[in-house]
Amino acid sequence: MSASPTAKQQPLLAGHWYVIASPHQLRSKPLALERFGERLVLWRQQSGQIVAMPDQCVHRGAQLSGGHIDNDTIVCPFHGFAYDASGQCTVMPCEESWQIPSGFKLQTYTVCEAGDWIWLWRGPETGSLPPPPVEPLLEGLVYGELCDDWNAHYTRAIEVQIDYAHLPFVHKKSIGRFMQGNSFDVGTDLSSGTIKSWLNNHKKGSQQWAAIHYPNTWINSVGGKFYIQAVFIPVAQQRCHVIMRFHHPVKIPLIRQLVSWFGTQLGRKVIKEDRPVVQGQFPANSDDANEKLTPADAGIVGYRKLRRSHQAQLKAEIKPQ
C-alpha cells in the first residue's frame, strides 16, 4: 500500500508504523530481514512498490530470499513456485495441469516507503491507516548513513538517546567531553506520540534537543540545519538493528561527501561507546525494569509512559516487541 508521508506527529493509536530498513538495502534482488522475531523477505514490483512476506515458502519451507524476481512474482529457489504481491502462489512447475489451490498462499505485511525509510505497519488493519511519522525538518537535506547491530532490546537502545546524564561518562572522549561535572536540568514535552527533551541549563539547550517519534525513530537537533537521526529496529527479543544518519544542508560536491563522512565517523564513534553499556543492561527489555529514576531521567520516564499507554491500548490484539 502507499501512504502520504506528511504528518508531523501522529496521535497515539493502537498500532504503529515501524521503520524496518533503509531503501538503500533493497536493490533488485529479494532482501532477507529478521524483524520482530520473524524472518521476512522484501522485494520490489516493477512499479517500485515494496512487498513484504514471510521468508518461508509454503511448499517445503525454503527461504524465498534465495530466489529471484520474475514478472512481479518472487520465485522460490527450491522447486520454482512463484508468489505474486498478494502472496498467492501463481506458478507451480511440478503440477502444470493442476488448478493451484487458494491455500497455497503466503501472508503479506503492510509496508510503505516514506521519508527515505521502509516502514511496516504493526497493529490492527481496520479502517484507513495514518501516515508514517516522517520528520519534516529533514526535507531537502542530504545525509550520510551508517548501521550497527546491537545485542540489546530496542527499548534500551532508544532510551539511551534521551539519557543526558550518561554523556560525561560513556562519551567522555567524544560528545560528552565538555560536560564533565555538569548537573542536568532536563525539560521534556510529550505530545501525540513524540517525546522531546532538552537541557534547560545548557547554553545551547533550546537549539540542541532530542526527540523520539514513537515507536522507533529518534532525531537530535545539533544546531542550524544539522541533525542526527537514528532508527532502532526490533530484530528479536535481545537484538536490534541501528541505522544512523547525519543530515546537513551542504550540497557542494566533495564538501558534501566530506561533511557526510565526518558526521558518520563521529556517529560511529558515539554508538560504539553506547553499545557495550546498553548491551549489558538488565533486564534486557525496559518494560521489565524496576529502576530508581531521577529528574534527569525525565525523557526516559516520558518514553515509558507513552509505551505503557500504547501497550494498554493494544491489549491482546498484538504483542509489542
Q: Given the rule CB under 6 A, which residues bind ligand FES?
A: 57, 59-60, 62, 76, 78-81
Taking CB within 5 to 8 Å according to partner kind, which of Fe ion, ligand FES, none is near residue 24? none
Q: Are 50 and 110 in contact (CB under 8 A)?
A: no
The single-letter code of the amino acid at 23 is P
How wide is the angle at C-alpha 238 spanned by C-alphas 216 and 134, nearest 5°? Answer: 10
Q: Does 274 bind Fe ion (CB under 5 A)?
A: yes
How wide is the angle at C-alpha 37 spanned by C-alphas 31 and 42, nearest 5°? Answer: 20
Q: Looking at beta carbons only, is 89 or 298 nearer to ligand FES?
A: 89
Q: Does 135 bind Fe ion (CB under 5 A)?
A: no
Q: Looking at beta carbons only, is 50 or 242 nearer to Fe ion?
A: 242
Q: What stretches of 166-240 show up as alpha helix (H) in DSSP?
A: 167-170
Q: Looking at beta carbons only, is 192 or 220 nearer to Fe ion?
A: 220
3-class DSSP assignment, residue 86? coil
Strand partners, 279: none
- Segment interacting with Fe ion, rule: CB under 5 A, options 95-103, 186-194, 218-226, 267-275: 267-275
The single-letter code of the amino acid at 85 is A
**Cα gap 233→110, rounded to integer Å:** 16
Q: Does 159 bind Fe ion (CB under 5 A)?
A: no
The single-letter code of the amino acid at 32 is A
Taking CB within 5 to 8 Å according to partner kind, which of ligand FES, Fe ion, none is near residue 274? Fe ion
Minimum gap (Å) between residue 259 Cβ and ligand FES: 47
Q: Looking at beta carbons only, is 82 or 112 nearer to ligand FES?
A: 82
Q: Looking at beta carbons only, is 40 or 170 nearer to Fe ion?
A: 170
Q: Which three cell numbers stand for residue 91?
A: 506458478
Minimum gap (Å) between residue 27 Cβ and ligand FES: 22
Q: Which three cell numbers stand for residue 35?
A: 524483524
In the complex, the residues that contact Fe ion under the rule CB under 5 A are: 274
